[in-house]
């Protein structure tokens, strides 16, 4: 008999709102079990049809994987023996983290496994939008070859333009390194990061409004919470330069999509590069998908052959740490750790939170 039970929703036929790691359907749990099996933990799939079913099946589990079902406050309240809730992604918006915190349950994530991939994709979106790739492809297909060169002579070169980063976490820092290699000036706004963290990286710290006004490209990299939900709305898009572009490979609900569509249609901003959307899976009729000045991809910024095995391994490692009575490497609600019985084995961090 297993020493610990790790509960997870059995994959459902209908795709749920969320990214690939949330909807992941696997034939085995070999990656997660690399850390879980040695400590006597067993992953059990729950064929729950409703939240009530899930609560009844998971109520005695020591751990829950946030996959395939939103882990709501109601579910959390029904978990009588849960020590940890694990997410195999950077974002934890599929878990009611505030409720988990009230019940003293740490919620773990995977904040540093696919940083380079997302930074690469951010730059791909920026470069594609800047060089009008969709528009140029359409013109070639329409036999308008000769019009491309004169048209592109209306736009400045990338070198010397300004990139504004909303937040300055792991991905934003990786984007900054890439952007500087292209000759971009980089500014950033993040009230939770010391200015010296930015200036050491050659990035100028600025206020949010100043960032919007000065940037030729605004790139969103903040986590999703009440502070950042719809952080880019009508007023923010109006504050940007008419020649500026908005890039988002972070969290979809950080953008007010109606406001973004309106800003693009009215020429308040020049274009966008988007990997995430307010509602996912996105409606194929979304007006953003019909615009030649908007580069879009289906929430795949993190996707490489390395990404899924490593995130699953890390998820298993985090659960195993807590089940063994230790702090996880990354908890998004670290206040649950401070007065817990869990042992702190890491050195004291000098950056932001226990995962930096």
Return the C-alpha torsion angle 215, 218, 220, 226, nearest 10.
70
Largest CA distance in the chain: 72
The CA distance from 51 to 18, in Å, is 17
Give the C-alpha distances (Å, rounded to integers) separating 253 from 15, 69, 279.
Answer: 18, 19, 7
Best CA proximity match to 58, nearest among 88, 78, 36: 78
Where do runs of H (alpha helix) occur along the chain? 30-36, 51-58, 73-78, 97-102, 115-130, 133-141, 148-152, 170-181, 195-200, 208-214, 234-239, 257-265, 307-323, 335-338
SS3 of 273, please? Answer: strand
List, for residues 165-193, the tens digit of each pLDDT value.
999 999 999 999 999 999 999 999 999 99
List, for residues 122-147, the tens digit of each pLDDT value.
999 999 999 999 999 999 999 999 99
List, for residues 63-95, the tens digit of each pLDDT value.
999 999 999 999 999 999 999 999 999 889 899
The CA distance from 63 to 82, in Å, is 5
The CA distance from 250 to 114, in Å, is 12
Contacts of 174 (CB under 8 A, 6+ apart): 115, 116, 118, 119
β-strand partners of 166: 189, 220
Q: Specify the pLDDT at position 356.
A: 41
> Does position 355 have pLDDT exceeding 90, yes or no?
no
SS3 of 78, please? Answer: helix
**pLDDT level of residue 353 (50, 70, 90 thresholds):** very low
Q: Specify the pLDDT at position 23.
A: 53
**pLDDT level of residue 224 (50, 70, 90 thresholds):** confident
Tell me which residues are annotated as active site.
251, 280, 299
The CA distance from 104 to 98, in Å, is 10
Q: Which residue has the tokens 């036999």?
A: 143
Structural domains in the chain plus CATH codes: 4-112+304-338 (3.40.50.720), 115-296 (3.40.50.720)
């Amino acid at each position: 008999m297993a020493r610990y039970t790790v509960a997870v929703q059995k994959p459902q036929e209908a795709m749920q709102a969320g990214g690939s790691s949330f909807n992941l359907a696997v034939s085995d749990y070999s990656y997660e079990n690399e850390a879980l099996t040695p400590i006597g933990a067993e992953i059990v799939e729950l064929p729950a049809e409703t939240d009530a079913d899930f609560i009844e099946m998971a109520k005695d589990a020591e751990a829950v994987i946030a996959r395939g079902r939103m882990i709501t406050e109601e579910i959390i309240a029904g978990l009588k023996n849960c020590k940890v809730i694990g997410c195999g992604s950077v974002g934890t918006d599929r878990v009611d983290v505030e409720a988990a915190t009230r019940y003293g349950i740490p919620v773990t994530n995977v904040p540093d496994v696919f940083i380079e991939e997302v930074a690469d994709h951010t730059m791909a979106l920026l470069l594609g939008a800047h060089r009008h790739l969709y528009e140029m492809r359409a013109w070639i297909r329409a036999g308008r070859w000769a019009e491309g060169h004169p048209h592109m002579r209306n736009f400045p070169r990338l070198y010397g333009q300004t990139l504004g980063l909303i937040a300055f976490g792991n991905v934003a820092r990786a984007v900054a390194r890439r952007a500087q290699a292209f000759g971009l000036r980089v500014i950033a706004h993040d009230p939770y990061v010391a200015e010296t963290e930015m200036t050491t990286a050659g990035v100028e710290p600025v206020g949010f409004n100043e960032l919007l006004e000065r940037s030729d490209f605004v790139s969103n990299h903040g986590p999703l919470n009440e502070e950042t939900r719809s952080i880019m709305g009508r007023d923010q898009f109006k504050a940007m330069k008419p020649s500026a572009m908005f890039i988002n490979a972070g969290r979809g609900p950080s953008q007010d999509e109606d406001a973004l569509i309106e800003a693009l249609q009215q020429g308040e901003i020049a274009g966008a590069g988007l990997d995430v959307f307010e509602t996912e899976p996105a409606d194929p009729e979304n007006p953003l998908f019909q615009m030649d000045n908007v580069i879009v991809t289906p929430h795949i910024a993190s996707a490489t052959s390395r990404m899924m095995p490593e995130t699953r391994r890390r998820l298993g490692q985090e659960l195993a740490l807590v089940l063994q009575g230790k702090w996880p490497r990354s908890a998004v609600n670290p206040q649950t750790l401070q007065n817990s019985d869990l042992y702190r084995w890491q050195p004291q961090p000098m950056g932001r939170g226990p995962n930096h």
